[in-house]
Chains A and B, each alone.
Chain A
């Protein structure tokens, strides 16, 4: 079976910013003639950059879940919530749809994202040709859901302000929220620097 014609085999490049197809080599300094973005056959150092960002995110995932994301102080008690205990509070106060939403957005999504990107990196590194289509679809899902993890950070910061303006209670944003925000941003950057075309570059066996 002959290998399928790709941009690389035909000497063509696509500008990822404006989707223009360009014949490479012919252009000075490999800039897109239409939008002037830098052109690359593949994103430069994609695997190394993604691996670095991903491991930073994985390390910060621990404090993000262990440290409290908010301290609630009322006249009578003082409680500090981690992300998980916040979900439990929501669950006990009867709003289970919101609890499920927060659980998925802040616990399941970041963890799945880190694991999925890790698997993608490893398989590309080993040049594994199996299940490319599934892996490609996995990556697209990771890209799509990534932003939604910021949900709890927004919710907590809004809560903190709205409550603090009143004097009946005070909510303080904990260090966990910062770590969590950093995890979300790092995974977004990691997904952006990963070049999914690498999944299809290894020779085809299946």
Chain B
């Protein structure tokens, strides 16, 4: 084992080239020898957990996906989620309207929760990614970049977009007992947004963001 130590460099606070040439398995702590960028995803020899992801993705892919997600988010919020026909009348509900309705009916916490997890959280995630990625693409660092990347990796646990989509599906099936329900543009946009966000989660994973951040300073 070469005796590499962590040296503090003036820019990053550490020097990437002096890092120990070892990858530890995040799931069982087994040490693996560092090989120069692997061709595909590698797994731990002992517990088979995925090790480091390959860092080959182009930053442009991540930016394109983020812009796509932003447009889908707008569609999901601007257009009605479902239209219900009961008797002679029909009524449209938007995503925001659903959260507002809950809030108005005294389910304040629940309303806020739905609003935060399905409207605000995805928007913040997309906006933060773009704010960090666009300067990185031009090999610059955004103000507060490191704190934001940290925030992105921590917020991942609380992203419930896909679950919300399936929940909406279940709600629609149950509703058909009461009314004739027609899915709207926003429902399809939500479904696409969900796919877009999960693609982003693997393309712009925290390891990858840090790799781009380090590259931008070379």
Which A residues contact B (CB, under 8 angstroms)? 4-10, 12-14, 16-23, 26-27, 33-37, 89-90, 93, 95, 98, 101-102, 105, 132-133, 136-137, 140, 147-148, 150-166, 168-169, 173, 188, 192, 196-197, 199-201
Contact = CB atoms under 8 A, between A and B. Distances in A.
A162 B84 contact: yes
A161 B101 contact: yes
A192 B155 CA distance: 13
Contact of A162 (B8, B26, B82): B82
Contacts of A197: 27-29
Contacts of B114: 154, 157-158
Interface of B: 1, 4-6, 8, 12-14, 19-20, 22-24, 26-31, 46-49, 52, 82, 84, 86-87, 91, 93, 97-99, 101-102, 105, 107, 110, 114, 146, 149-150, 153-154, 157, 160, 162-164, 166-171, 173-175, 177-179, 206-207, 210, 214
Contacts of B171: 154-156, 158-159, 162
Contact of B107 (A22, A157, A188): A157
B168 A17 contact: no
13 contacts: A6-B28, A6-B29, A14-B26, A17-B150, A35-B146, A136-B28, A151-B163, A154-B166, A155-B174, A161-B102, A162-B171, A166-B84, A200-B47
B170 A147 contact: no
A156 B105 CA distance: 14
Nearest to A41: B29
Contact of B47 (A13, A22, A132): A132
A106 B154 CA distance: 25
Contacts of B8: 33
Contacts of A4: 30-31, 46
B166 A151 contact: yes
Specify which of B52, B99, B169 lies most central, judged by the most chain A CB atoms within 10 Å of its CB.
B169
Given A18-B153, A133-B48, A155 B31 contact: no
B91 A165 contact: yes
Contact of A35 (B82, B102, B210): B210
Main secondary structure of the interface of B (DSSP, over half): mixed
B23 A158 contact: no
Specify which of B20, B84, B171 lies most central, judged by the most chain A CB atoms within 10 Å of its CB.
B171
Contact of B12 (A33, A150, A196): A33
A136 B49 contact: yes
B78 to A, nearest CB: 19
A150 B178 contact: no
Contacts of B101: 161-162, 164-165
Contacts of A18: 149, 153, 206-207, 210
Contacts of B105: 160-161, 164
Contacts of B169: 98
Given A22-B6, A161-B101, A199 B167 contact: no
A7 B22 CA distance: 9
Nearest to A192: B157
A200 to B, nearest CB: 4
Contacts of B86: 166, 168
Nearest to A168: B86
Nearest to B82: A162
B164 A154 contact: yes
A151 B170 contact: yes
Contact of B31 (A12, A93, A105): A12
B31 A162 contact: no
